[in-house]
Each structure stands twice: as structure tokens, then as C-alpha cells.
Amino acid sequence: MIELSAQAIFLQDSHGYAVPFDPDDLAARIRSVLPGNGAESDALARDAVSAVEYALRHAGKPKKGPLYVKASAVDAMIANILQSVGLNDAAAAYGRTKRIDEESDRFQDARIASLLNERFSLSGERLAAVARKVSNTLRSIGADVSSTDLVLELAKHFAESLDAVGSVKLSLPEPGWNDKGFILPPEEFISRISAASARLLAPECRAVKVLPVDLRVFPALRVELRFFPLLRESKLETPVTELAFAPLLAPVAACVDELCIAADDACGRHGGGSLTPLKLLLHFADAEVFASEAMGCAGRKASAEILNGLASFFTGMITRRPEKITCG
């Protein structure tokens, strides 16, 4: 899956090891502790991940470059979410799972500390912390004898990541605020859009798909879009160019605008007016295959460039700014 135009997020453990934030891995960890394994568990795990990612991306002032967050902060947010929907046992079980190996030996390396003291403006606890993390990393990759350049590059990385966010505010609805009507089925708001837009969701087209809206954890309108149905109806020959295909997205953009309004209205009727406007999450479900087979893109990089262009064009046509855009 490609995530378009997003700031990189890294999770950092207590020893300074950092790994990229992986929404799929986090969702799998959550599902592993949920009772049952059906569609409802999948939806809850998906919404929990979205709530965490949204909170991380909106924590504090925006900044350039990667965002470093302590893994413990993410774990605390997930436990909070599970408790908020009454899954206390699942929250406790989640706390016993591990994201990053926490069993690595801790030690100081005087030689590295001395080098860093000479090359960087580091001292005291900050110097010791960076030196320890560099040492741990070198040991983990079997580089007991390493180049000065590698040591300095690692030190630069860890010095920046020392400022990792340690806690993030997570906004959740009050527990039990609407236990009976917390899921809005798509039919409830699809029935309120125009016939032209509804045709895009019909079985004979399937260019647009809307998922149920769960109001408990992360109230959001999730819309899946598909390019191949639009191409089939257009009769355009392949390989199709970005310039030729982009105008076909206009009716889809109008459909998304109508769905946003209708979903907000349905949310309000269920007593969730304070949750509107719902966040918009877009997923171009067949985009990667489309870029390869219908647009002749060779390689992931070329596909990503084309898809970024189409996504930018599409978001310029819709009224509500998407919180996240992904391509499948």
C-alpha cells in the first residue's frame, strides 16, 4: 500500500531504537487481543489506528522532517481506546504485547562518547544517551569495529530523535455516549445523494464504495475509489495519460462531496452532531495496478509520481480536505 504525501513517523523504544510507524502491524496487534475476529473487530482495529495516527500528526506545531514518537505513548493511546469502548481485558492483553525487542543489553562506550563530545555540542546526560544508543545499534548489526562516518551519522540521527514526543492528547467520545447507534450503515446516507452520484456506487459501476461509519473511536467517512470502472465507461485506449484520465474524476469528486454532507447529516440525526464534520479518508483501491497496467508505469517510483499527481488533482476538486490518502 502506498500512502501519499505523508510525514514519516518513527516509533522509538526506551533504548533509542526507532522503526517506521506501520499502521498494518499496529492493527494486527490490536486484532490479536480483541474478542472474536470478524468484521467488527477489523473495523475497531482500523479505527483505533486511524485515531492514533491522526493524534500523532496533529500533536503540537507542524515541523519538517520525520516525526519521532515514543512507542510507549502509542501503546498508552491504544490501551485508552480499548478501555473507552469497554474492552478492559483487551487493553490489559495489549499491554503485554511487544512492539520492539526490549531485551538488548545496556552499556556505555567511552570511545564513542569521547568522539561525540569532540564533534557535537553534546554533554552530560544528552551525550551519554546518544553514545549508548549508538553503541547499542552498532552491537545489534555486528559492527563492533566501525567507521567514524557511521558513528557520526548514527549520532546525528539519535540526537534528533531524543526530542521524540513522549505523550499525545487523544480525543475520544464519552464512553457509552450512544451505545445503540454508534455505527452508521452506508445505506443511511447513500439514499440522500443524487441519482448520478448513486450510480457510481451501484453494482454495475462500483467506482465508489463507502464503509460503515463507527462513531466510537475515530468518526470518519472512509471512501474507496476505483479507476478501472471509470476507464471502462470512457472507452479510452490504453496506455492512458494522466491528462486524458484526470477529467473522468470530476463526477467522482461530486459524489464524494455529496457523501460528506449526507454522512454529516446522518451523524447529527444519531446525536453525534459534535463529531461533525466527519474526517475524510480516501483509498484508491486499484490505483497501483491501474498505474502499471492502464498507464504503463514501470516501477513503484514512477507509479507513485503519477498517483500523487492524480490524487492532487482529485483533492483539488473536492470541498473537504482528506485527512489521509492511500493507494492499493
Give the pLDDT confidence of 72-92 residue by residue, as tens digits. 888 889 999 999 888 889 998
For the cut 70, the answer to whether the pLDDT of residue 34 exceeds it is yes
Query: Quick check: is 178 in a domain?
Result: no
Q: What global pTM score does this model have?
A: 0.69
pLDDT of residue 175: 47
- The lowest-confidence range among 32-46, 189-203, 228-242 is 32-46
Tell me the angle at which helices 124-140 and 148-161 cross, rounded to the nearest 10 degrees.
120
Most confident of 94-98, 101-105, 171-175, 221-225: 221-225
- Are residues 83 and 163 part of one domain? yes
Evaluate whether residue 200 is within a structural domain.
yes
Cell for 201?
456506487
181 burial (CB, 10 Å; 0-12 / 13-18 / 19+) is: exposed
Same domain as 245, residue 163: no
Q: What is the pLDDT of residue 211?
A: 93
Report which DSSP code applies to 249: G
Q: What is the mean pLDDT of residues 295-312?
A: 88
Long-range contacts of 78-84 (CB under 8 A, 24+ apart): 78/26, 78/29, 78/30, 78/48, 78/52, 80/170, 80/172, 81/48, 81/51, 81/52, 81/170, 81/172, 81/217, 82/30, 82/33, 82/48, 84/172, 84/173, 84/175, 84/216, 84/217
Residues in Cβ contact with 325 at an 8 Å cutoff, skipping those fewer than 6 apart: 3, 4, 5, 281, 282, 283, 284, 311, 315
Q: Is the pLDDT of residue 206 over 80?
A: yes
Domain boundary among 172, 201, 219: 172
- Statement to judge: residues 41 and 124 lie in one domain: yes
Segment 158-180, tens digit of pLDDT: 777 666 655 566 665 554 444 44
Closest listed residue to residue 76, CA positions, set 3, 170, 189, 7: 170
β pairing state of 9-12 and 67-70 = parallel
Asked which of 172, 195, 229 is the last residue of a domain, the reply is 172
Same-domain status, 161 and 85: yes
Residues 71 and 157 in one domain: yes
Residue 2 dihedral angles phi and psi, to the nearest 5°: -100, 130
pLDDT bin (cut points 50, 70, 90) of residue 300 is: confident
**Domains of the chain: total:** 2
> Is there a single domain that holds both residue 127 and residue 192?
no
Residue 26's H or E segment, with its range, is: helix 23-31
Asked whether residue 99 is assigned to any structural domain, the reply reads: yes
- pLDDT at residue 32 is higher than 60: yes
Q: What Å distances lie between residue 232 and 177, 226, 252, CA to CA?
A: 45, 11, 15
Q: Which of 106-110, 190-194, 270-274 has the highest mean pLDDT?
A: 190-194
Domain assignment present for 299: yes
Whether residue 56 is found in the same domain as residue 130: yes
Q: Are residues 160 and 200 in the same domain?
A: no
The CA-based diameter of the chain, rounded to the nearest angstrom, is 72
For residues 38 and 134, state if they share a domain: yes
Question: What's the average model confidence in pLDDT over 144-168?
Answer: 69
Identify the CA nearest to 287 among candidates 237, 200, 226, 233. Answer: 226
**Domain final residue, candidates 172, 194, 210:** 172
221/158 same-domain check = no
Can you tell me the mean pLDDT for 27-53? 87
Distance CA 57, CA 209 (A): 26
Residue 104 lies in a domain: yes
Residues 79 and 163 in one domain: yes
- 132: in domain: yes
**Chain-centre distance of CA 55, in angstroms?**
10
Q: How many CA atoms lie within 13 A of 101 on its CB side?
A: 7
Q: Which amino acid, 109?
A: D
Assess if residue 24 is contained within a domain.
yes
Range scoring the smallest mean pLDDT among 31-45, 192-206, 253-267: 31-45
Whether the pLDDT of residue 6 is over 70: the answer is no
H or E element at residue 222: strand 220-225
Give the structural domain span for 96: 1-172
Give the other-Cβ count within 10 Å of 276's Cβ: 16
Q: Are residues 134 and 88 in the same domain?
A: yes
Residue 177 lies in a domain: no
